[in-house]
Chain A
Amino acid sequence: MATYRWDELKARHRQVRQMLLRSGSLKRLPRTRPRDPDEEALLIQIAVQRIRRARADGRLTRCGDRRWRLRFDKSLHQGVQ
């Protein structure tokens, strides 16, 4: 079994991503294979729950008729760079 170092894999992933971003290949492509209806319903349910949770936690707040606030929880993630 081949052994990879996590740092090397991350660096390789980053190189590929840079290449794809430059070429515009990461633009949205239509999905050709339809999802299973149960999977689709579950994905909708999960997304709706996450939106409701974000609003309940104050990460996504409507603070006026046309004003919203987005708060990112730094403690949950590491930097992206």
Chain B
Amino acid sequence: MSLEERLRAASSELEKKLLIVGELTRRLSAEGIQPIIVGGTAVEIYSSGDYQSHDVDLVVPQRERAVRELQVMGFEPMGRLFYHPHWEVVLEIPDVALAGDSGRVNTIEIDGYQVHCIGLEDLIIDRLNAAVHWGSREDRRWAETLLRAYRGELDMTYLRQRAQQEEVLTALEELWQVVQSDGDLPLG
């Protein structure tokens, strides 16, 4: 099935966005270039689509090469954004360096494609940064959601170390205490 057919059959915006990033990843993989999904779309992945983000933020070390490939795929530059008028998807490459450990990047398989996504711990730190430094309650809520949903699987030593570096350790400990004290939420 062609990418166009896959996109037409996509069941959600998240699937559509991941198929497109998967195609970009495939095109760049021969050159050893690995786009990494960060930001809201990463939250969408780990929340299985519960969070909704309108654009896709990518970290790509070789930004210029990725931009050329995006244009080959039909994306049009619009300031710092890249818009695909037919697919109605917006991509941005806000950074060339990952804010976190590249060794903790996860590979996500989706319908024959692979995409790479920032690790859970680094994503939680990203949300905590927005919560603490921008005063964003929504990001605090998502940090808590991810802590709750994945609490048995997180590397708390690394999370605390990163939180200390980013000066969000107090916020992390507060949330962690809440999450630990509540026990398991009842499943609906």
Contacts and interface: CB of A to CB of B under 8 A. Distances in A.
Interface of A: 14, 17-18, 20-24, 26-28, 30-31, 34-35, 40, 43-55, 59-60, 62-63, 66-74, 76-81
A51 B54 contact: no
Nearest to B134: A30
Interface in B100-151: 104-111, 117, 119, 134-138, 141-142, 144-145, 148-150
Contacts, number: 132
A51 B185 CA distance: 12
B48 to A, nearest CB: 4
B109 A51 contact: no
Contacts of A26: 54-55, 90
A22 B11 contact: no
B78 A50 contact: no
A63 B8 CA distance: 28
Contact of A79 (B9, B45, B49): B9
Nearest to B7: A81
Nearest to A74: B11
Contacts of A79: 8-11
Interface residues of B, number: 57
A66 B105 contact: yes
B48 A74 contact: no
B149 A30 contact: no
B185 A49 contact: yes
B48 A70 contact: yes
B8 to A, nearest CB: 5
B145 A48 contact: yes
A16 to B, nearest CB: 12
B185 A45 contact: yes
Nearest to A64: B107
Interface stretch (B12-20, B66-74, B157-165): B12-20
B88 interface: yes
Contacts of B15: 72, 80
B132 to A, nearest CB: 13
A47 B46 CA distance: 11
Contact of A80 (B11, B45, B54, B138): B11
Contacts of B48: 50-51, 54-55, 59-60, 70
